[in-house]
Amino acid sequence: MPSGDTEPLMKASGNLAPATSQDMPSAICTVHAAFWLTVVAGIAVAIVDIVVMKTIWAMIVALCAPLIFVVIFGILVLLPPRCGCIGFSGSLQISLIQHPDYVFTRLTMPIFNFMQGMELCDNAFCQRARASVGKNYVYAGMVSISEWQIVKKTLTSGQARTTYLGAQPLANTPKVDRSVFLLELQNLDKDDNHDGFRDCFYHYMFREGFQERVDSANSKKLWEQLAEDYKTMPHGVGDLFFTENDKGLRGFLIKYFFYVMLDIDANDPEVMKTLVKLMGGDTAIALAYLWPFAGHNQSAIKAVDDLIFGSSVMGKFKEGEEKFKKMTKLELTRLSTCIFRLAAVTGTLQLAKTITGGLSMPPFEDMDKIDVAAEWDKLDLGDDSALENFILEVGRLFPPVSSVHHIATEPFSVTIQGKTVDFPTGTKILVPTNLAMTDKEVWGVDAFKFNPNRPGLQENSMVFANVGPLGSRVCPGMRIAMDTCMGVLSVLGKIRRGS
């Protein structure tokens, strides 16, 4: 656990208080004690069975008692949210978070992290959770705090981290002899590797040759192919233009990003085949990086690593640079493979789909009734600022990355459903940017309406882990993602208007 710096939330004066006590509440009257009671009772029954009754069945049932207890508790946590009882599920998890090292927590928590973490990736679910429980709630083993000031303070402060993408536990993240996965690295102290590694990534992806490749004849051809695919492929919600791997929108993004950032020519069918094995579909990402499936796509990861390692951009890599925390070529290669899959292609594809009507908006407060394609048809395609606002407004209501996370470096307390609850150092805190970006106290009563001209949109957008121009770990791909989405709106918009 990182030390030295103060938990950023503590600095957000008037919002989060320190824990009311240095010790967490006793576990005597909690589920932990009940679990051990079933263990003790099971052993007692087994002994009686061996000594007196001599029937093997009573012993088996008795020894299974702790397991049955775990299963029943799991059902009680996982089932009620399906009937809308999100608060009940959360209240059962509080004691687990307060006592993270207890056996019962270790047995149950990974399942809750994974299963409920998936639900927290669903924007409409998070909105329903806030509507029913309030701005702070416990879910997926995390404390979700959506107060605007706290989210803003967190995004602009250093953070301790773990191996999560928002609420989703990851595994198999890139490393050589040390971890290089930016999202799991803390940025609390000046000696931390995070900022140096991020600068290194930025330097090699976006400096030498990048702009020339963006303006090149090869890029122009890729844009022309995208336009051609839009004309020839069906492009309604869920249609081929949005779902194919090697053509349509995803095919374009794979080819374009690998070309402009890494100078890899994916027009070569063999290269594209290699890239699609990792960058295509949704299963590949789960088998590569999502816990508990991760690690089953190693050959695809290795093949993309080899392509990136051999690229001309990596050919210019200089080893041992102090300003980049001595990041090595192999480390940057492995980081890039993972970032291209988890962030670059996946994030930009979702945003590009949403702004072009390929994905419905979340079904909450009538957001799903917003006809994004019809709004797009009204846009002035020659006005860059209008295009940018359009993308940010769609992203505000339906952000591709719905939240980020950090780890409490001190005990803290938070009010959940009217009660002050203490949580220990090490608690995973969810930072739900999706909820902050639809907070009616900040955005007004029309927070769920589509209005690209709304005041404060650019200054307060959190789509890229930023707060407008500010942020301590803002997405380094923000500019290329925005420019590419603006290009998509403009190029495909012209086709829609028959020009």
347 lines the binding site for ligand HEM (CB under 6 A): yes
CA quadruple 461, 465, 470, 475: dihedral sign: negative
Give the nearer residue to ligand HEM in terms of CB position, either 214 or 401. Answer: 401
Task: Name which position in 109, 160, 351, 408 contacts ligand HEM (CB under 6 A).
Answer: 351
In angstroms, give the least distance from the CB of 298 to ligand HEM: 22
Binding mask 13-52 for ligand HEM (x = CB under 6 A): ----------------------------------------
Instruction: Give the closest residue to 307 by CA, choosing from 315, 316, 319, 296.
Output: 315
- Pick 411 or 476: Cβ nearer ligand HEM: 476
User: Out of 401, 408, 429, 488, which residue is the one contacting ligand HEM (CB under 6 A)?
Assistant: 401
Nearer CB in complex with ligand HEM: 102/139: 139
Stretch that binds ligand HEM, among 96-104, 114-122, 436-444, 474-482 (CB under 6 A): 474-482
By CB under 6 A, residue 467 contacts ligand HEM: no
Q: Residue from 254, 429, 475, 486 that binds ligand HEM (CB under 6 A)? A: 475
The verdict on 201 binding ligand HEM (CB under 6 A) reads yes
Cα separation, 425 vs 100, whole angstroms: 10
Closer CB to ligand HEM, residue 119 or residue 422?
Answer: 119
- Could you tell me if 151 and 433 are in contact, meaning their C-beta atoms sit under 8 angstroms apart? yes
Q: Which regions of 258-411 does DSSP assign to beta strands (E)?
A: 404-407
Number of residue whose CB is nearest ligand HEM: 477
d(CA 16, CA 151): 11
> Token digits for 417?
């459903």
Query: Closer CB to ligand HEM, residue 59 or residue 462?
Result: 462
480 contacts ligand HEM (rule: CB under 6 A)? yes
- Among residue numbers 205 through 234, which ones bind ligand HEM (CB under 6 A)? 205
Cα separation of 365 and 130, whole Å? 13
Q: In the complex with ligand HEM, which residue's Cβ is closer, 19 or 155?
A: 155
Using CB under 6 A, pick the residue from 465, 467, 486, 492 that binds ligand HEM. Answer: 465
| φ/ψ of residue 498, rounded to 5 | 75, 20
> Quick check: 435 binds ligand HEM (CB under 6 A)?
no
Question: Are the C-beta atoms of residues 42 and 444 closer than 8 Å to each other?
Answer: no
Stretch that binds ligand HEM, among 50-58, 230-238, 302-310, 469-477 (CB under 6 A): 469-477
Q: Under the criterion CB under 6 A, does residue 361 sit at the interface with ligand HEM?
A: no
Distance CA 332, CA 95 (A): 40
How many whole angstroms separate alpha carbon 48 and alpha carbon 11? 57
Which residues 6+ apart lie within 8 Å of 230 measured at CB?
Answer: 241, 492, 495
Work out whether 343 is an interface residue with ligand HEM (CB under 6 A): yes
Return the ∠ at Cα 455 (arms to 450 and 460), rounded to 5°.
90
Which residues inside 121-180 make contact with ligand HEM, applying CB under 6 A?
A: none
Give the contacts of 492 (CB within 8 A, at least 6 positions apart).
Answer: 226, 227, 230, 356
Verify binding: residue 400, ligand HEM, rule CB under 6 A: yes
Residue pair 260/266 in contact (Cβ under 8 Å)? The answer is no
Out of 32, 99, 130, 198, which residue is the one contacting ligand HEM (CB under 6 A)? Answer: 198
Residue of 77, 214, 285, 404 that binds ligand HEM (CB under 6 A): 404
Smaller CB separation from ligand HEM, 370 or 431: 431
Q: Which long-range contacts (CB under 8 A, 24 or more apart) does 366-372 make?
A: 366/448, 367/397, 367/398, 367/448, 367/450, 370/397, 370/450, 372/450
- Among 408, 338, 42, 318, smallest CA distance to 171 is for 338
Residues of this chain that bind ligand HEM (CB under 6 A): 182-183, 198, 201, 205, 339, 343-344, 347-348, 351, 400-401, 404, 463-465, 473, 475-477, 480-481
